[in-house]
Structure 1
């Protein structure tokens, strides 16, 4: 884990502030709900830069407890070192965080910026509460 983390967007500034107890967690969550995140996806068959698969396969990892966790990053640059260990996941999608909750549901955990100095893990029940915040 590197401690040389220079924030590159508002989401990263808010994440740092929340983890350093400079803002309440709710402030970070509101920022997350209004932010774009990078979701690595499997790029199996490509022709001329276009994926031929009709459904994106996001990168998911298993925890020590066997739980499935979706991998997300605060921007595409943050993913480069992590995805080297996952062949086929060199590309991805930049999407609004609420889109993730809407399209993929909330029955799994999320790890945001795994392996980096500033990141956070959400369990499935956390995502349900976050989704409820977004609908208020």
Structure 2
């Protein structure tokens, strides 16, 4: 475990265990699928208290290959340093990982805890496989 990263929740403990080879990747994925994550969301200024847009705009980056990467964190505290470089993304929402997949669909990669010593990246095809977990065939 990195010296400067103290796990704050079960998802972080399982992520460290997977990275250190103490549990198989599938076991971490099962934990992730059953966990809540933090999704930074663009906070557009409201006009007269009315929301100007129906859907939240999650923080997505563009990878070197031109594909979208959804940014997620294991907790809101983990996002603070990263979102400083993205004006308007100071807030967000904590939601079930599966809910995020259901609402946003597939076709993008995911970076969990980017810029931190404990994190993981999923390619778009990995996200599609994870999204398919628990669905009847």
Note the aligned Cα RMSD (angstroms): 1.9
1:97 corresponds in structure 2 to 97
Q: Displacement, 1:110? A: 0.5
Q: Displacement, 1:111? A: 0.4
- Deviation per residue, 1:65-112 (Å, 9 max, x gap): 211100000000000000000000000010000011111011100000
2:10 corresponds in structure 1 to 10
Matches within 5 A, 1:1-136: 3-46=3-46, 52-135=52-135
Q: Which runs of 5+ in 2 are unaligned?
A: none
TM, length-normalised to structure 1? 0.92
Q: Displacement, 1:43? A: 0.2
Task: Report the Cα distance in structure 2 between the residues aligned to 1:48 and 1:94, rounded to whole angstroms.
Answer: 26
Q: Which runs of 5+ in 1 are unaligned?
A: none
Task: Report the Cα distance in structure 1 between the residues aligned to 2:45 and 2:129, rounded to whole angstroms.
Answer: 36
Task: Report the Cα distance in structure 1 between the residues aligned to 2:97 and 2:107, rounded to whole angstroms.
Answer: 15
Q: Assess if the C-alpha contact under 8 Å between 1:98 and 1:134 holds in 2.
A: no
Change (3 A) 1:49 1:25: farther
TM, length-normalised to structure 2? 0.91
Task: Report the Cα distance in structure 2 between the residues aligned to 1:51 and 1:38, rounded to whole angstroms.
Answer: 21
User: How many residues in Structure 1 have an aligned counterpart in Structure 2?
Assistant: 135
